[in-house]
């Protein structure tokens, strides 16, 4: 499998663990999962990208789409990413300003909780 | 001057194939290790655009990528024969797709050392290049 997806609930927030490559071929599966989660009323999401080996603009589009969907329900979508080579594409497109990007799932949950 | 050419059926699964080949040839051509991630990403973006264009307008036609080692330069040329999709109806995802197209070119421009995009009535040609140490011939 080029892309492995998993999710679990922690402190009322849904953590989505992504492993592998997110590109034009695999991104639709992530998109479907995010849509499914929102349909099931999970509006506070944290996408853990620490095991992502590749992310392209299709993947970015899916994440932006997910952010829009949860925001329509006053929700949130934060990212966990410390890998510079993955952060690079966020910087180039200016999306570092759009997403909350944290160093760990714990940090992401803490940041989200303190905002509420 | 060595050239590797790959022509592939416009399937999303083959964008990764093109990335892997391009990265391998770039490394062989003497592109710095620190730039290989940029090559991988930029080539992936160009091929993704080409694949989407072909899937919409000419799914039976292959997408072509040419990798050329020039003195001090590694060049990648991706050509598609899908007519540039601006506001054409029938784009699969509407807003998501358009956003993706915008991102794709922005990413390529931000990564490649030199980029040239030529759009003609017959399709699009994206030329990208990076400095190389000449590598093996």
Please count the structural domains in chain B.
1
Cβ-based contacts of B34 with chain A (< 8 Å) = none
Q: Does A96 touch chain B (CB under 8 A)?
A: no
- B75 contacts B67 by C-beta, under 8 angstroms: yes
The residues spanned by each domain of chain A are 3-115
| Axis-axis angle for helices B33-57, A57-71 (nearest 10) | 70
Taking an 8 Å cut-off on Cβ atoms, the answer to whether A54 and B15 are in contact is no
Nearest to B5 by CA among B72, B112, B70, B79: B79
Q: A3-115 belongs to which homologous superfamily?
A: STAS domain (3.30.750.24)
- B82 contacts B50 by C-beta, under 8 angstroms: yes
Q: For position A109, what pLDDT does the model report?
A: 96
What is the full per-residue pLDDT of chain B (137 aa) written as tens digits? 568 999 999 999 999 999 999 999 999 999 999 999 999 999 999 999 999 999 999 999 999 999 999 999 999 999 999 875 554 444 444 445 555 556 788 889 889 999 999 988 889 999 999 999 975 54
> pLDDT (tens digit, 9 = 90+) per residue, A74-109?
999 999 999 999 999 999 999 999 999 999 999 999
Question: Three-state SS across B18-54?
Answer: HHHHHHHHHHHCCCCHHHHHHHHHHHHHHHHHHHHHH
**In whole angstroms, what separates CA B126 from the centre of its chain?**
6
- A24 sits in which H/E element: none
Q: Does B20 touch chain A (CB under 8 A)?
A: no
CA–CA dist B92, A48 (Å, integer): 28
The CA distance from B93 to the nearest CA of chain A, in Å, is: 11
pTM score, two decimals? 0.88
| Containing structural domain, residue B32 | 2-131
Cβ-based contacts of B55 with chain A (< 8 Å) = none
CATH of the domain at B83: 3.30.565.10
Tokens of B70: 């020039």
Tokens of A51: 């095991």
Task: Write the ipTM.
Answer: 0.88
Mutation for testing the A interface, residue in B11, B103, B105 having most A CBs under 10 Å: B103
* B136 located within any domain: no
Residue A6: count of CB within 10 angstroms of its CB? 11
């Amino acid at each position: 499998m080029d892309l492995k997806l998993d999710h679990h609930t922690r402190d009322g927030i849904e953590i989505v663990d992504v492993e592998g490559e997110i590109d034009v071929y695999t991104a639709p599966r992530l998109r479907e999962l995010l849509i499914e989660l929102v349909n099931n009323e999970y509006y506070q999401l944290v996408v853990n990208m620490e095991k992502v080996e590749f992310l392209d603009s299709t993947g970015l589009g899916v994440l932006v789409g997910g952010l829009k969907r949860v925001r329509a329900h006053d929700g949130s979508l934060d990212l966990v990413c410390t890998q510079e080579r993955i952060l690079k594409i966020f910087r180039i497109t200016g999306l570092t300003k759009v997403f909350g990007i944290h160093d760990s799932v714990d940090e992401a949950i803490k940041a989200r909780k303190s905002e509420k | 001057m060595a050239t590797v050419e790959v022509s592939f059926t416009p399937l999303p699964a083959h964008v990764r194939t093109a990335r892997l080949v391009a990265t391998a040839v770039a490394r062989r051509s003497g592109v710095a290790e620190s730039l290989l991630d940029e090559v991988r990403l930029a080539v992936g973006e160009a091929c993704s655009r080409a694949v989407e264009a072909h899937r919409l307008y000419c799914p039976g036609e292959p997408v072509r990528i040419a990798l050329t080692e020039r003195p001090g330069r590694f060049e990648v040329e991706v050509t598609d024969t899908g007519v540039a999709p601006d506001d054409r109806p029938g784009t699969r995802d509407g807003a998501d797709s358009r956003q993706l197209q915008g991102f794709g070119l922005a990413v390529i421009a931000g990564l490649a050392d030199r980029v040239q995009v030529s759009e003609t009535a017959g399709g699009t040609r994206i030329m990208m290049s990076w400095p190389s140490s000449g590598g093996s011939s």
